[in-house]
Amino acid sequence: MVNNAGIFEGGDPVEISNDQWRKVLATDLDGVFYGCRAPCRTLRRRRVRSSTPHRFSGLGGDWGMSPYNAAKGAVVNLTRSLALDLGKKGVRINSVCPSLTRTGMTAI
Count of CB atoms within 10 A of residue 39's CB?
15
| pTM, entire model | 0.72
What's the pLDDT score for residue 105? 45
Catalytic residue among 3, 29, 36, 68: 68
SS3 60: coil
34 assigned to active site: no
Question: In terms of DSSP H, where are the helices of the chain?
Answer: 18-24, 31-37, 40-46, 66-87
What's the pLDDT score for residue 60? 57
DSSP-derived pairing of the beta strands 49-53 and 92-96: parallel
Count of CB atoms within 10 A of residue 58's CB?
20
The angle subtended at Cα 57 by Cα 40 and Cα 97, nearest 5°, is 50
CA quadruple 62, 30, 8, 84: dihedral positive or negative? Answer: positive
The CATH architecture that domain 18-106 belongs to is: 3-Layer(aba) Sandwich (3.40)
What's the pLDDT score for residue 24? 94
Residue 11 DSSP one-character state: S
Along the 108 residues of the chain, how does pLDDT read in single tens digits?
777 778 888 889 999 999 999 999 999 899 888 888 877 766 665 554 554 555 555 555 667 778 888 888 888 888 888 888 888 877 778 777 766 554 444 444
What's the pLDDT score for residue 106? 44
What's the pLDDT score for residue 22? 95
